[in-house]
Structure formats: structure tokens, C-alpha cells
Structure 1
Amino acid sequence: MPTESSPAAAAFNPARERLVGLACAIAVVAIWTGFSLSSRFATHQALTPWDVAALRYLGSFPLGLALGAWTGWPRLPVGRSLGLMATAAFGFPLCAYAGFQLAPAAHGVVFLTGTLPFMAALLGLLFLREPFPPRRWISLGIVALGILLLAAGSVEAAPGAWRGDLLFLLGSLSWAGFTVMLRLWQVPAAAATVVLAVYPPLLYLPVWWLALPSSMAAASTGAILHQLIYQGVLAMVVAGFLFARAVNALGSAQTTTITALTPAMVTLAAGPVLGEWLGWGGMLGALLVSLGMAFGVAAPWRRVPAVVDAPAPRG
């Protein structure tokens, strides 16, 4: 952490940091929207959940190596690296991919990202003692009502999808744990991204190759490239870096409130893209989630301690 007299501290601009955090969080919403649609679309591409995960790790590995070479290798204790990997690299994506095999995209985004502000708020209150002003409770209440309407509007269209919903909730809890770890340990965005991009493939890919069900041979080249690029490059590396940067700038509560916009975006896109349409109740739920997110972001913002990444080496 920079001291008050260090150049990094002197250069810290709260207004600029807030704008950077907001921009990163909004970019995460866009990528997570595509993540939900792509993960659900994988069920039509002759790929098992284990195959999609393998493509995620295959895509992230070379970029993680390049980022580590550019910024320097992260010096995180083994226990902290394992904690970040267990939640963000394994818990979240594996539960999501398996859940999308059992439930529609609207379910996934409601329970994966829609519940994330609540999961992160609870864990932040327990482990970080983060302040939770009344305005944010109102914001989460509006989001909760929207989530209930979204869920009610989609359950009728997909009876029996509750098994996928449970997996989505577990995935949401995993990502909330990752969010709290970022704040608790003050992990720089670049360091977190390298850990998540490089180490998990070394653990997962041999197991997938030797023991897990695969239908990769039946998938088209286009399907493989699509999931490799979106899951490995965008969802894993780019979104992982942007999310960590947003948490460092805004804190976990406000960042996850912004990402609660994702259910509305996926709900609007799932109809024309996947043919999974919701009724008026679901559409009203999407609107309420968006309004709740906007109300929470507009709440008075208090500066949080920032993590300043070390300058990238230029040699």
C-alpha cells in the first residue's frame, strides 16, 4: 500500500478513481451478459460443461503468462492464491456451466449475478465491517423485488430447473467470497488476474483430459473458437481484471450493486438471441433490477482505500 508521502498516494485522485471504477464495472456487466448467453448457447454446441471449462482455461493460460511477464509475477501467499482460485476460477464457472445445462439463461443470470449484491453484502458485513447505509438497503430491496419477478416469470417456462438454480446460487456465493477476499487482502487487479489465468489450467486440464466427460470431438471449429475466446479471454482474463479493478476503486458493495444490472441485460437479450422469452412480469422484474442498481450507485459515495498496481515494466 502506498504511504501518504509516496508518489502513488500523492497522485491518487478520488474523482478519477471513481470514474475508472464505474467504467470497469459497467464493462463487466457487458461481458457478463455475453458470458450468460454464451454459456447457455454451449448446450446447443455439443459441448459438455467440462469442455466449456477446459476452453476457458486454455484461452486464459497464454494471456496470463504474458500478463505475468509484463507486470511481474504475483507474490501472494499460497493460501491466498488457493482461496482466489477456489472461488473465482473453479467455484463460479463450474457451477455456472453445469447450471446452464439445466436451466435457462434468465434463471442463470438472476441467481448468479442478481443475488451477488446480497451475498457480497452479507460477507462484507461479516468479514470487512463495510458500512451499509439505509439507502443501499432500499436499493437492494428494489433489486430483490425485481429478482423475484424475474424468477417467477421464468419458473413457469422451465419447470424442474431448480437443480440448476441451486448450482447458480453456489456459484454466486463463490464469486461473493472472491470479492470479499480481494478487499480483505488488498489484492491488485493484475496479480489476481495472473493467479486466476495461469494456475487453474495446470490443475484442471490434466483431470479433464484423463477423467471428465467430453464431447469436444463432435463440436464444430466455430463453436470451439467461440467459447475459447469468450470464456477464456473475455470472461476469464478481461472481466476478471476489470472486476478486481472496480472492487479496488469502489468497494465490493457498490461494485456488486452495479453488476446487478446484468439480469436485466440478459433478460432483454435472451429472447431474440436464444428464443427464451419472458412475460410482462419478467420484463417488469428486469426494469426493477435496473432501477435498484441505479439507485444504489447514486448513493453518496465514500472513498475506499485504493490498491495501486505497480507500474508495468517497459523493458
Structure 2
Amino acid sequence: MTTLRAHLACMLVVCIWSGWITISRYGVHSSLQPADITLLRYTTALIIVFPLILRYNWSKFKLYQYLIVGLGVGFPYTMASFYGLQELKAAHAGVLVNGMLPIFAAIAAWFLLAQTVSRMRYIGISLVFLANFIMTGGDTFSGAHISGIVLLLSAAIFYTTHMVCLKLWHFDWKDVIVTVPVVNVLIFVPLWFFFPTNLLHGEAVDIVSQSFYQGIMVNIIALMCSTYAIKRLGTITVSIYMSVVPISTALLAWVLLGEALNNFEFAGIAACSLGLFIYSRSQISENKHQSSRLVSEVPQMK
């Protein structure tokens, strides 16, 4: 039952994160600046979880651990994502951020967490990786988009660091939802004054929608679910789920932003689906094999 809840948590994160890329793409082309959206995200979350902050045991982890976990999914991640979204379509941003997570996570988990992956699961990861790049159609990687590519790949590295360190240092969801807003409000609020801003003249609908989705849906609910899932399923499996985001983002952007899907994107969706099927089937098979082995090793009662 715990494993089922973890998989359901991953599915919810995929839904929320897909909406996040779409609404962020809308936000950076609205009356708000990237720094404004970032500020709204963490101050809103801080207000919501403030009672938990007052009761939290801040001696539980070391300062550098709070900083790495908090900033990994904090303003360096959001600012890199938002400025990247000013240059690239939502679907392509999803490819570069979430589509790269399985690769970065597999490398990091192998080095830091000693997590190993079977050959079939590597095939599944490779297919997902290939599918995400098929979706770009090749035009994303032109010289005109180089700064956006670098920013979005940086965002993927930041988020991978966050995911791996959650697992490495045993952060629970209760730790994360207080750590992220506190760390980012303390560090980013002074920096906000040095970035371009239009917050005081922003449209009310933009401010409210970004505050709600960024601060509550993403920074509280999605972080709770992803942390819960990482603790129970591991970094690599959760990153595979996150790599579905480009597909769902492309569909949402098509419906909500009018960003039409082309043949490359349809082919990418098909290849990604196949990769996810191979990965999930391999994982189920490995779990059954492991369970059978454990049962066979239990001494028989006489």
C-alpha cells in the first residue's frame, strides 16, 4: 500500500509540474518578471507553512544541508527556468529540464547513493531520453537558443541535486516544506531588489494565479508528494516519472497556450510511452524476483 501511495504521489507531481511549466511560460510573458514570480512563490509558501516553521526543530540537519536542499529547488532553479522559458516553448523547456532528470539522476544516484539499474531499465531510460529530444525537432538546439538551453539544463542540475540530497540525507516532506521557503525568502528577498521587477504594477489576476500555483500547488503540495515518493521509490524512479512532464506539458501548452504539436512531438510522445512501459515492466519483474528470493531464504517452520 505504501508503494502504491508513492506511485500515486508521483502521478500527482507530474500533473502539478506540467501545469507549472505551462503557467510559468504564461507568467514570464505576462505583466510579471521572473524575479516577481520567484518572490511570490516563496513568500506565499512561507506564509502558508509559517505555523510549522515556528515549531520546527532546526537542529535536525546542518546548515549546508538546509542550503543545498532548499536552493536545489529554490530560486536558482526557478530563475534559470523562468528566463529559459522566455526563450523556448513550454514543451521544449519540459524536455530540457524534466527530460534530462533520468540521466542526471542515474549518474548522481550511482556515484552518491550506490543505486544500480538493470540493463532493461537503462533501455527504458534511454528511450525516454531519446523521446524527449525527438520532441524538440532539432530547432531548439540552434545557436539562437543557446542561452535558454544552458539555463534550462542548469535548472535540471539544480533539481537533480535537490532530489539526490533528499535521499542521501533522509529529509522528510515535513522538513522540505519548511526548509525551501525559509531558505529562499531569507536569501532571495534582498536579491529581488536588484532584478528587473514589475510587481507593483502587475495585473491582479497574474499575481493571484502565480501566487496560488507557484506557492501552494508547487512549493507545498508537489514538494510534499515528491519527497514522499523519493524516500520510498528512490531518485531514479521518481525522475522517470518526472520525465513524463514534457509530454503532459506539450498537451497542456497545446490546449491552453495554443502551442500546436508537430510530428516530432507526436513521435516523442510515442517513444516516451514505450520507454516508460519498458522501465515499469522491468521494475515490476525485478521486485517480484527480489520478493521470491527473500521468501525462499526464509527458514521453513518445522
Query: Under a length normalisation based on structure 2, what TM-score does the superposition of the two structures give?
Result: 0.89
Seen in structure 2, the aligned counterparts of structure 1 residues 250 and 38 have a Cα distance that, compared at 3 Å, is same
Query: Is the contact made by 2:29 and 2:86 (CA closer than 8 Å) also made in structure 1?
Result: no
Residue 209 of structure 2: aligned partner: 226
Q: How many residues align?
A: 286
| Aligned equivalents of 1:35, 1:262: Cα separation in 2 | 10
Provide the C-alpha distance between the structure 2 equivalents of 1:23 and 1:135, rounded to a whole number of angstroms: 23
Query: Which residue does the alignment assign to 1:170?
Result: 154
Q: CA deviation at 1:151?
A: 1.6
Alignment CA distance shift 1:256-1:100 (3 Å): same
Q: Shift in Å at residue 277 of structure 1?
A: 1.6
Q: Which residue of 2 aligns with 1:82?
A: 67
Distance 1:59 1:153 in 2: 38
d(CA) in 2 for partners of 1:272, 1:245? 30
CA contact (8 A) 2:67 2:183 kept: no
Matched, 1:17 2:2: yes
- 5+ long unaligned stretches in structure 1: 1-15, 304-315
Structure 2 counterparts to residues 56-67 of structure 1, below 5 A = 56-67=41-52
Whole-Å separation in 2 of the counterparts to 1:298 and 1:196: 34
**Which of 110, 127, 144 is matched with 1:142 structurally?**
127
Aligned to 2:300: none
Residue-by-residue CA offset, 1:233-265 (whole Å, 9 max, x unaligned): 111111111111000010001111111111110
Following the alignment from structure 2 to structure 1, what is the Cα–Cα distance between the partners of residues 272 and 139? 15
Structure 2 gaps, min length 5: 288-302
Please report how far the alpha carbon of residue 69 of structure 1 lies from its aligned counterpart in structure 2 after TM superposition: 4.9
Q: Deviations over 1:77-107 (max 9, x none)?
A: 1110011122111332121111111111011
- Give the distance between the partners of 1:196 and 1:39, measured in 2 at CA: 19
Shift of 1:206: 2.5
Q: Which residue is equivalent to 1:307?
A: none
Alignment CA distance shift 1:120-1:188 (3 Å): same
Residue 164 (structure 1) shift:
1.0
1:142 Cα deviation from its structure 2 partner? 1.0
Is the 1:153–1:281 contact (alpha carbons within 8 Å) kept by the matching residues of 2? no
Aligned to 1:192: 176
Counterparts of 2:30 and 2:36, CA distance in 1: 11
Instruction: Give the Å deviation of 1:159.
Output: 7.4
Shift of 1:174: 0.7
Q: Aligned to 2:190, which of 206, 212, 227?
A: 206
In structure 2, the CA distance between the partners of 1:46 and 1:212, relative to structure 1 (3 Å rule), is same
Verify: 1:99 aligned to 2:99, yes or no: no
Question: Relative to structure 2, which stretch is displaced further, 278-287 or 105-114?
Answer: 278-287
The residue number in structure 2 matching 1:36 is 21
Aligned equivalents of 2:106, 2:30: Cα separation in 1: 36
- Show the counterpart of 1:54: 39
Shift in Å, 1:272: 2.2
Counterpart position of 2:110: 125
Distance in 2 between residues matched to 1:174 and 1:202, nearest whole Å: 19
Percent sequence identity over aligned pairs = 24
User: Residue in 2 aligned with 1:9?
Assistant: none
Does the CA contact (< 8 Å) of 1:105 and 1:266 recur in 2? yes
CA gap of 1:159–1:225, structure 2 versus 1, over 3 A, is farther
